[in-house]
Chains A and B, each alone.
Chain A
Amino acid sequence: KNQVEQSPQSLIILEGKNCTLQCNYTVSPFSNLRWYKQDTGRGPVSLTIMTFSENTKSNGRYTATLDADTKQSSLHITASQLSDSASYICVVSAFSGNTGKLIFGQGTTLQVKP
């Protein structure tokens, strides 16, 4: 069964601190892994997309890593800001031929406190 599991479910950190969110997946055939940021009451916004051959990708203070062997990904946030408070969603894409499917994790809710 295709699954994406994220941890922790929620996280509270102080402004300026770093944090790392985890994503484990069992998806086949794997095509790519995406991280999205979703502010409360808004739609998700894409942060990074990584294919099988990519180990790391950055977007400003956000750095995603991918270990395709262990089927794990992490999202590292550096020098957190209050605006980083949001839900972070890991999404794995399974593609076969021209048919694709996205499998969504349940998200990690991050709260950054002053």
Chain B
Amino acid sequence: DGGITQSPKYLFRKEGQNVTLSCEQNLNHDAMYWYRQDPGQGLRLIYYSQIVNDFQKGDIAEGYSVSREKKESFPLTVTSAQKNPTAFYLCASSTRGRRNQPQHFGDGTRLSIL
């Protein structure tokens, strides 16, 4: 079955450490996205990529970095510069340029501070 796989499901970060969240999709989608979800708030866009080797900052990119070397993969690194990283991180993908197509989401990675 086609879908989006995020790993790990739970992740713990120590002070000063960078951690990388994995996102892989086999839906053949061009566009991929990273969101952060905090309790009582709507999802906020961190980074997005419309095509391989290209990505743009979202609304809350500070303290995060991404790469898009392959169509299927869009890893997110939470750097030590992100002072409040505890959240639920969701990866999504969609067909590029198709306005009325849904974004498909993975099942998230919950990141906590040790």
Partner of A105, one of B42, B44, B101: B42
How many angstroms from the CA of A100 to the CA of B98 in the assembled complex? 10
Partner of A43, one of B42, B44, B100, B105: B105
Q: Is the CB of A41 within 8 A of B40?
A: no
* Given A102-B45, A105-B42, A106-B40, A43 and B99 contact (CB-CB distance below 8 Å): no
Q: Give the number of residue pairs across the A-B interface with Cβ within 8 Å.
A: 50
Q: Is the CB of B99 within 8 A of A31?
A: yes
Q: Is the CB of B100 within 8 A of A49?
A: yes
CB of B75 closer than 8 Å to a CB of A: no
**Which of B41, B97, B99, B101 gathers most chain A CB within 10 Å?**
B99
Q: From DSSP, what is the main secondary structure of chain A's interface residues?
A: strand
Would you give the shortest CB distance from B68 to chain A, in whole angstroms? 18
Partner of B99, one of A4, A32, A41: A32
CB of B62 closer than 8 Å to a CB of A: no
Would you give the shortest CB distance from B24 to chain A, in whole angstroms? 14
CB of B102 closer than 8 Å to a CB of A: yes
Task: Digitize B92-113: 1 where CB-to-A-CB distance is under 8 Å, 0 elsewhere.
Answer: 1000010111111111101000
**Which residues of the partner chain B approach A43 to less than 8 Å between Cβ atoms?**
4, 6, 90, 92, 105-108
Task: Digitize A9-37: 1 where CB-to-B-CB distance is under 8 Å, 0 elsewhere.
Answer: 10000000000000000000001101000
How many angstroms from the CA of A89 to the CA of B42 in the assembled complex? 8
**Which residues of the partner chain A approach B4 to less than 8 Å between Cβ atoms?**
43
CB of A103 closer than 8 Å to a CB of B: yes
Residue ranges of A at the interface with B (Cβ–Cβ < 8 Å): 4, 9, 31-32, 34, 41-46, 49, 51, 89, 93, 95, 98, 100-107
Residue ranges of B at the interface with A (Cβ–Cβ < 8 Å): 4, 6, 40-45, 90, 92, 97, 99-108, 110
Given contacts A31-B100, A98-B97, 12 further A-B contacts (CB under 8 A): A43-B105, A43-B108, A44-B90, A44-B105, A45-B105, A46-B103, A95-B99, A101-B45, A104-B42, A104-B43, A106-B42, A107-B42
